[in-house]
C-alpha cells in the first residue's frame, strides 16, 4: 500500500515494534562503526563510472550473500540518493528490515508468497519518483546464485537501468546459511564491482527467459568467491 508517497507495509507482514528496535539499537550502532572501518575500492575506470553514476534512478542488483556491505556502497558511491530494498514479508524479513535501517537503506516488504506483485508496483512508483531500489536476484530463500526475473520485470515496466553489484572481500567470515552469507572482518578491504545495463540492452535481442540468463551470467562474472 502507498499513502502520500510513503510505502506502508501490509498488516500481515512480520515487523519489529518500537521496543524491539530500541533493544537492538546497540547492535545497529556497532554495525555502523563496523562498516566505517571497511576499505572500499574499485578495480577499473569503467566499473567506477557505472558504480558512481547517479544521473538516473537505478535498480541495484547484488547477490543475497553480499548484502552486508550494500548499504555502505550506497552511502559512499551514490551520494544524495535514497535507496529502497525489497525484502521478504516473513519473520526473517523483519530482522532484515532492522538491518536495512542500520545501514541507511529503506525497506519495501514483499516476496513471491506475500504481496510480491504489490511490492513490485511500489518499487516502480519509487523509481518514477527518483529513488533507487535494490533487489537480490536469488531472492530471500535461493537457490544461491540463481537469478529470478523480478529485477528484469521491474526494469521493463519502469524503464530504469539495472546496476549489477558485487563485492570481493579480502577477509571475511562466511555463515552456514543457505547462501553462505559473507560478513567482512573489520578493517578489511572490499573490492566493489559493478556493471550497468539498460532495458534496451537487455530486451532488444533477448526474450525475458534469455534476459534472466544474461543477468545471471554477467553478475557471476563480477562475483569472486
Domain boundaries in the chain? 15-221
Neighbours of 172 (CB within 10 A): 17
pLDDT surpasses 90 at 210: yes
**pLDDT given at position 139:** 82
| Of 60-74, 80-94, 116-130, 194-208, the least confident | 80-94
As a CATH number, domain 15-221 is: 3.40.1130.10
**pLDDT given at position 99:** 73
**pLDDT given at position 15:** 52
**pLDDT given at position 14:** 52
The better pLDDT of the pair 119, 186 is held by: 186
List Cβ neighbours of 138 (8 Å cut-off, separation of 6 or more).
63, 64, 144, 145, 146, 147, 148, 179
The model carries a pTM of 0.86
3-state DSSP helix/strand/coil percent for the chain, to nearest 5? 40, 20, 35
Amino acid at each position: 500500500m502507498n499513502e502520500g508517497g510513503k510505502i506502508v507495509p501490509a498488516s500481515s507482514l512480520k515487523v519489529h515494534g518500537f521496543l524491539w528496535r530500541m533493544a537492538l539499537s546497540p547492535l545497529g550502532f556497532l554495525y555502523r562503526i563496523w562498516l566505517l572501518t571497511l576499505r572500499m575500492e574499485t578495480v577499473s575506470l569503467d566499473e567506477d563510472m557505472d558504480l558512481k553514476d547517479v544521473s538516473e534512478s537505478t535498480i541495484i542488483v547484488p547477490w543475497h550473500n553480499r548484502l552486508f556491505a550494500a548499504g555502505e556502497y550506497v552511502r559512499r558511491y551514490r551520494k544524495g540518493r535514497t535507496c529502497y530494498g525489497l525484502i521478504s514479508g516473513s519473520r526473517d524479513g523483519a530482522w532484515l528490515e532492522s538491518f536495512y535501517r542500520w545501514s541507511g537503506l529503506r525497506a519495501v516488504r514483499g516476496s513471491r508468497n506475500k504481496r510480491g506483485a504489490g511490492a513490485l508496483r511500489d518499487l516502480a512508483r519509487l523509481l518514477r519518483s527518483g529513488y533507487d531500489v535494490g533487489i537480490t536476484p536469488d531472492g530471500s530463500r535461493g537457490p544461491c546464485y540463481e537469478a529470478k526475473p523480478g529485477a528484469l520485470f521491474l526494469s521493463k515496466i519502469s524503464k530504469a537501468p539495472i546496476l549489477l553489484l558485487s563485492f570481493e572481500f579480502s577477509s571475511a567470515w562466511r555463515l552456514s546459511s543457505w547462501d553462505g552469507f559473507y560478513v567482512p572482518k573489520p578493517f578489511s578491504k572490499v573490492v566493489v564491482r559493478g556493471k550497468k545495463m539498460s532495458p534496451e540492452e537487455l530486451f532488444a535481442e533477448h526474450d525475458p527467459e534469455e534476459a534472466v540468463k544474461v543477468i545471471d551470467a554477467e553478475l557471476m562474472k563480477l562475483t569472486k568467491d
